[in-house]
Chain A
Amino acid sequence: MSKYDGYMGKVLFIDLSKKTFGEFPWSDEDRKRTLGGKIMAADILYHHIHPGMTAWDEDNWLVISTGPLTGCGVPSSSRFNISTISPLTGVLTSSNSGGDFGLMLKRCGYDAAIISGKASSPTRIHITEDDVQFLDATDLWGLECTPAQEALPKEFAKLVIGPAGENKVLYSAVLSGERCSGRGGVGAVFGDKMLKAVTAKGFKHPSVYDKGELVKLCRKWTNKMRNHAISGRQLPKLGTAGLVSPMEARGLLATKNFSDGHFEDFDMVSGETLSETKLLRNSGCTTCVMQCTRRCEVDGKDVKGPELEILGLMGPNILNNDLQKIIEWNYEIDEMGMDAISTAGTIAFAMELNEKGLYDSGLQFGKNDNISQMISDIAHRKGAGDELANGSRKMAEKFGGMDFAIQSKGMELSAYEPRRAVGQGLGYATSNRGGCHLNAGYLVFIEGLGLDIDNLTPNGKGALCVMFQNLMEAISAAGVCLFTSYPIFPSYVFDHPNAPITKVVTWAMPHLGPIIKLMNQHGNVLQLYIPLIPHTKAIELATGMRMKLGTYLTIGERGWNTERVANMVLGQKPGADTLPKKLTDTCQDPSDERTKVPLDEMLKSFYANRQWVNGAPTAKVLKRLKIDIPDVDAYPYA
């Protein structure tokens, strides 16, 4: 049990090989150090992994974890996380999702569940308050994600994989309802363990330290989100799909496998056109005020519509302007149980390989009549689909084209073209799990989309990137959606984008590097509460744990460093923080030398801010953050 409210106080350990379960030791000190979610998972995995360990090892663990705010009535707090060694990248991955599984896991009395071992036949794990059952899932094996979930009792929260996970497609997803844990191939690890599904059903609720005050805080927080330009207007009205047009305006819309940032037909696949011609209604996660999901129709069914990433990557990035096709592909990818970003990115890469005569998969830019078949072939590893199922980095190793394989650490980039948002490029390169826009720190938000700081200057980007990465890491670990971070920026600057104060803010941010560097390195001294960041107060009121801004940022920093040092134990070498040459050596606009990612220059600043050497946390940093120094000879900075 825990002395802190908010938590259920237990971590479940399940051994699939032995079909046994028990409690995993996790102390209040661990809770204070990691909060929960992905940082908790990184800490658990870091203390378990060893050099040479791979995603397919029997003792590779899946860690499904929630945060202290999950289930406590805080806005947008139904999130949970799945972490493991990624088969796509070979290093840690963490995939965060909405859906109801995290809430139900807590109702069963657990903050997290660790799954070890491998089953010998298709298996479903069923978790309740008192028991864990290992059930035969032969009848479910082979089913797509919706039929698999429909075959299970409605009242259970569910995690399932589709055919892609069963066939160990390296970027397979796990679905909870319609929400995907997609990035990094956690579904393939499920499939390798012959784990088709995990279900849960419980009735417990976390206690709350100061319910009255938390309700008051949440009421204010919800009102603020509802009245904010981003969380209250853009996201409910347009969803993330509303980014297509602003990205086109700024040359950020990845086009033809990131060869350009503009697509002439962008409006045919924009969020506005989606709203005007295809939208049935909005929906969203439990406890969320934004309801940013678009509902669309496929074959007479009301299904989850496309988000920005697939609109961009299955639209402009493959020279496709058919919105209905994207809606259908989005549905098919979900049904197969694959990560939409990596699926689409790998398809675009295969198209360029074909164009350059390196490998003919049958895929061509602008040709969309064979995409549906390819999605199915990838999931079932048939024909060329078997090659694409390994992702773009492994394809490049086999067929060539590494300079235009749009990935970082083996994970495909999302739809933001970083040559027009160079800080985002730095984030993609340094992201621990690979080419992820969120783990990257999402600087594109201030480099043109929400705010308009100089998008091409490297100045200040290292410091800003570190600060945003740490903050987002902590927000995620608490169990709330990252979209709750937008109101950290006062709505005024979005409501008045041309006002003098907005201009001053946007001008100043890149110049604040030295000050932000001090915060990055000595954040713990900020023992104060800033109303703009209500997450810390919510944690205090939910758990009773003292949580000021400095502590919160330090926890985020600890998570980032834990993931990094774990990756180095798994074999990541200095020099892994990189991008394909297409983005660093070729200008998007040949007449403007600044339209490429000045990665080397920004990396120096990034590493200085993190007090790292060649991409590795030093022993001094690890000691400050209370992270054990890795017990391996190969770690060169101990």
Chain B
Amino acid sequence: MIKVKMFGVVRLGSGVKEFECSLSEAPTVSACFDVLNIKSAPGSDKFTFGDSQVFVNHTRTTKKNFALKDGDEVWLMSPAAGG
């Protein structure tokens, strides 16, 4: 199973905090967004790999087709700043 957690604008916009899916549903990080967009409520914001920062097991990846493996934890989040 893959555990996917949402943070920042991705979480507030989709209304989804986290979900689990099988490796066949989300073989790549990009596919995690497809699952997210199905799970998010109708009318909520949709997100893609292109507009989000992605971390796999605490390491940032910028590769859309980064292959996941069973047990991976994926974080989808938005850039942030403050002070």
Contact = CB atoms under 8 A, between A and B. Distances in A.
B80 A246 contact: yes
B75 to A, nearest CB: 6
Contact of A449 (B7, B17, B52, B79): B79
A233 B64 CA distance: 24
Interface stretch (A56-64, A437-445, A619-627): A437-445
B7 A246 contact: yes
Interface residues of A, number: 44
Contacts of A270: 7
Contacts of B12: 237-238, 272, 275
Contact of B78 (A233, A239, A498, A499): A233
Interface stretch (A160-168, A489-497, A597-605): A489-497
A449 B80 contact: yes
Interface in B29-83: 49-55, 58, 60, 62, 64, 75, 77-83
Contacts of A494: 78-79
A240 B83 contact: yes
B9 interface: yes
A276 B13 CA distance: 12
A438 B83 contact: yes
B53 A497 contact: yes
Interface string A472-509: 00000000001100100000001111110001000000
Interface in A239-288: 239-243, 245-246, 249-251, 262, 270-272, 275-276
Contacts of A229: 78-79
Contacts of B80: 230, 234, 238, 242-243, 245-246, 449-450
A244 to B, nearest CB: 9
A245 B82 contact: no
Nearest to A498: B62
Contacts of A495: 51
A246 B60 contact: no
A40 interface: no
A497 B81 contact: no
B82 A240 contact: yes
A344 interface: no
Count class of interface residues, chain B: 20 to 34
Given A237-B9, A245-B7, A270-B7, A498 B79 contact: no
A494 B80 CA distance: 9
A421 to B, nearest CB: 13
A235 interface: yes
Most chain A Cβ neighbours within 10 Å, of B55, B58, B79: B79
B1 to A, nearest CB: 19
Interface string B2-28: 000001110110000100000000000
A467 B19 CA distance: 43
B63 to A, nearest CB: 8
Given A272-B7, A272-B11, A498-B49, A249 B55 contact: yes
Interface string A85-98: 00000000000000
Contacts of B58: 249, 251, 262
Contact of A238 (B9, B62, B64): B9
A307 interface: yes
B77 A496 contact: no
B7 to A, nearest CB: 4
A499 B64 CA distance: 10
B50 A499 contact: yes
A330 B55 CA distance: 31
A234 B78 CA distance: 8
Contact of A497 (B7, B79, B83): B79
Most chain A Cβ neighbours within 10 Å, of B11, B75, B83: B83
Given A234-B9, A245-B77, A249-B55, A442 B83 contact: yes
Given A272-B11, A495-B51, A499-B50, A249 B77 contact: yes
Contacts of B8: 234, 238, 242, 245-246, 271-272
Contacts of A239: 82
A235 B51 CA distance: 17
Nearest to B58: A249
A539 interface: no
The 7 closest A-B pairs by CB, nearest first: A240-B82, A245-B7, A494-B79, A498-B62, A246-B80, A450-B81, A243-B82
Interface of A: 229-230, 233-235, 237-243, 245-246, 249-251, 262, 270-272, 275-276, 292, 307-308, 437-438, 442, 445, 449-452, 482-483, 486, 494-499, 503
21 contacts: A229-B78, A230-B80, A234-B9, A234-B78, A238-B9, A240-B83, A241-B82, A243-B82, A245-B7, A246-B53, A249-B7, A249-B77, A272-B8, A272-B12, A272-B17, A437-B83, A450-B81, A494-B79, A496-B50, A496-B51, A497-B51
Given A239-B82, A245-B8, A438-B83, 12 more contacts: A229-B78, A230-B81, A238-B12, A246-B79, A249-B77, A270-B7, A271-B8, A445-B81, A449-B80, A450-B80, A483-B81, A498-B62
